Structures are given as structure tokens and as C-alpha cells.
Amino acid sequence: MALDIGRGSLLFWSAKSGLSPGTLVKPGNFQDHLIRQTLIEVQTNPLTVTVPDAASTGSVLLEVAWETVRLREFPYRPSRFDCLFLWTDERVARRFNSKRADAELYEVEIVDCSRVFAANMDLISYFEESETLGSMFERAREYWKTERKDEHREILLEGSIRITQAIS
């Protein structure tokens, strides 16, 4: 059963503060953010390797695991690297938005929609005790294999949106 989300649908989006109504948004910012993350720092004297921000490094590892599984097993799904993350439920959107510094919640309208997928965002929001790449791959498979129909979902959109209003 396909999602009833497409051109003209109104959804919620979390982004930096201060964007104006009418602003057209295209995907790609998330990939740029991931690529710029510092994962490790190396000092030569004495030789040491440190993880400057374990949460950021862990998030990048999760995203790479999810994209690896998507490319291998679910290539017809939108890439998390090249999509916009949206919500149909304002409460869920507010919960996500509240965790981000200097973020604002917006109501947006879908302008262009190549592919759309609704996923269980809770599967990618944590680390298991003694996490391995294998356990990440298993959770990623669960994430990609079934489309979420309930309100606790994130919408991955390959397409563009237009801000209709700031709501937070």
C-alpha cells in the first residue's frame, strides 16, 4: 500500500531558525553535514587516536550502515543521504525538533516528489549495548523493509518542499 503523500501534501520539517515562508528547499544538506563531521583525531607525539565527539562519530556510523543496507538490499527506497526528513504528526515533529539546538519547526508543502518512504525513526535513534556493525545492519534491514503507517514515523522524501510557515 503506497503512502498518501505527494505533491501538495502539508507536513512538518525541522531546520535552522529564521527561514522565510516561500523558501524552496531541496535535499542534500544532511549528506553535506555528515561528510564534514570529524570522526577521529590523530596526534603523532605520542601516537594517539581519539574520538572528539563520540555521539557525532556514532551517528555517522549509523548512517553509513543504513545506507550500505539500503544500497545492497533496498535500492528502490530513497537515500537518507539525499532526502528531506519530514513528519506527518506535529507532536512527533516537535519531539525531534526539541532535541536540536537553534532549530525551528516549519509547516511545509511538497513541491516535487520523486520517491517517498515512511520509516520507524526509533530504529536509528539509539545504540545497543556492545553494538557491532552486524547488529546495526540488522536494525537497518528492519528499518528499510516495512513502511510505517502509524504516527510515529519519519518521512523520507526525494523531492523538494516549500516553507508555508514557521510554527515554533
Across the range 121-129, mean pLDDT stands at 82
Which residues, including other chains, have CB under 8 Å from residue 136's CB and lie 6 or more apart?
61, 62, 65, 66
Which residues, including other chains, have CB under 8 Å from residue 146's CB and lie 6 or more apart?
120
Does the pLDDT at position 38 exceed 70? no
CATH number at residue 149: 3.20.170
Hey, which residues does 160 pair with through a beta bridge?
Answer: 112
Across the range 126-152, mean pLDDT stands at 85
Angstrom distance (rounded) from CA 48 to CA 98: 36
- Counting the structural domains of the chain, the total is 1
In a domain, 5, yes or no: no
Does the pLDDT at position 3 exceed 60? yes
The residue whose grid cell reads 544500497 is 71
In a domain, 119, yes or no: yes
Across the range 2-8, mean pLDDT stands at 82
Please give the pLDDT value at position 128: 77
Which residues, including other chains, have CB under 8 Å from residue 44's CB and lie 6 or more apart?
none
In a domain, 67, yes or no: yes
Sign of the four-CA dihedral 13, 135, 34, 68: negative
In a domain, 86, yes or no: yes
Please give the pLDDT value at position 1: 41
Range of the domain at 21: 10-166
Q: What is the DSSP letter of 80?
A: S
| Collapsed DSSP state (helix, strand, coil) of residue 167 | coil
Please give the pLDDT value at position 112: 95
Give the cell for residue 55: 555521539
pLDDT, tens digit, 9 for 90 and up, residues 76-124: 999 999 899 999 999 999 998 998 888 999 999 999 999 999 999 888 8
In a domain, 2, yes or no: no
In a domain, 1, yes or no: no
- Residue type at 142? E
Please give the pLDDT value at position 31: 58
Give the whole-number percent of the chain exceeding pLDDT 70: 86
Q: CA distances (Å), 63 to each of 99, 120, 123, 162, in order? A: 18, 14, 12, 26
